[in-house]
Amino acid sequence: MIIRPAVRSLCTGAVVLAVGATAIAPCAALAPLPGYRPPGSTSGSGTEAPALPGEVSALSWVVADATTGDVLASKDAHRHLPPASTLKTLFALTVLPHLPARRVHTVTSADLNGLGAGSSRVGVVEGRAYRVDDLWRGVFLSSGGDAVHVLASMNGGWRKTRDEMRERAVQLGAQDTRVMSPDGYDTPGQYSSAFDLAVFGRTGLADPAFARYCSTSVAEFPGGVERSGRADAPYEIQNTNRLLAGTQDVSPYPGLIGVKNGYTTEAGNTLIAAAHRDGHTLIVTVMNPQEGTVYDNARSLLDWGFSAAGKVRPVGSLRPPVARTSTTSAAGPAQTPADAALMATHHSTTRKASVLGGFAAVGALLASLSASLWLLRRRRRR
């Protein structure tokens, strides 16, 4: 088998960027902060903050540190737009924990019902037995809507999977996402945002299985079934993420580690891309470029992000405001020391409040008893 892995708080509107090296700025404080200098100028430490690339034409985009969750810059980060197949990242976060990779399933006609006209396909056929991990490679490499339908059927059905995806988005603090079709197919009322897609990508990279699938450039996929019932030979599939695969005159991006691309008529081109360089892992989301390709836009933003690392003040965070619900095989990003300290403080405060509340309740009870005894004594005296 051929498998080649490759090495909430933002304002919408204008591009958001702050310079310096201090804590995350809340939305209300995104105006110039103390020590702020425009991009391209020199900060007090003598380091130069690079100017944002002018050739990025996407309607919405985000550049974030995948390790810390810090958002370094953005444009219309919470704008509601069709996500296309990048929504399959949320599908994977939702369904991966429930289906063992080596489980084998024979596809039925019911599994493929409802596959939209023009949907991308990896070549799943009725009557063929597939392993779950083969189907996931079909999802991540070929963006196979047919593979998504089969996995959703194995997960309990299309509607159940849709509802679970909505719940998962809430758990992750992704408030800009409304799932109508788990495969990302254009459906009225379905939308996501550059911010939420960055959350999905960052969360997925913390799961080894997700990271392995999304970084695979080339793999073999099981062939179909002959009339005699004999299985055809497997065939090669290649990742449609051109920054990863280096196809169709797009040079592979150095250090790219996935994540997922997409395209529909309504969404245009969309992309979640992550790369690692010089000790930094960045995640970039690009939605619907108006000029140039989605890969050119992502490349420019990744280049800027790596040059800006340590020179810009975060303008928000991908981390949810509460602890993320995790599972064995699809947990969120590992808890950072800051997250751990925050949760420890929360639990300590909760315990203290509980103890103080107990003391207060006992005190109130004693005061009530004391008042009752006093009234009883007065009545007796009369």
Q: What is the pLDDT of residues 161-210, one digit of tens each?
A: 999 999 999 999 999 999 999 999 999 999 999 999 999 999 999 999 99
CA distance readout (Å), 246 to 241, 242, 281, 284? 8, 5, 20, 18
pLDDT score, position 47: 62
Q: What is the pLDDT of residues 109-143, one digit of tens each?
A: 999 999 989 899 999 999 999 999 999 999 999 99
pLDDT score, position 158: 97
Backbone φ, ψ for residue 359 (5° rounding): -60, -40
Cα–Cα nearest to 32, from 308, 315, 304: 315
Long-range contacts of the stretch 157-162 (C-beta < 8 A, 24+): 158/114, 158/182, 161/91, 161/94, 161/95
Number of continuous H segments (helices) and E segments (strands) in the chain: 9, 13
Residues acting as catalytic residues: 85, 88, 143
- Of 88-102, 241-255, 331-345, which gets the smallest average pLDDT? 331-345
* Percent of the chain residues topping a pLDDT of 70: 72
Q: What is the pTM of this model?
A: 0.77
Phi-psi region of 12 (alpha: psi -120 to 50; beta: other; left: phi over 0): beta
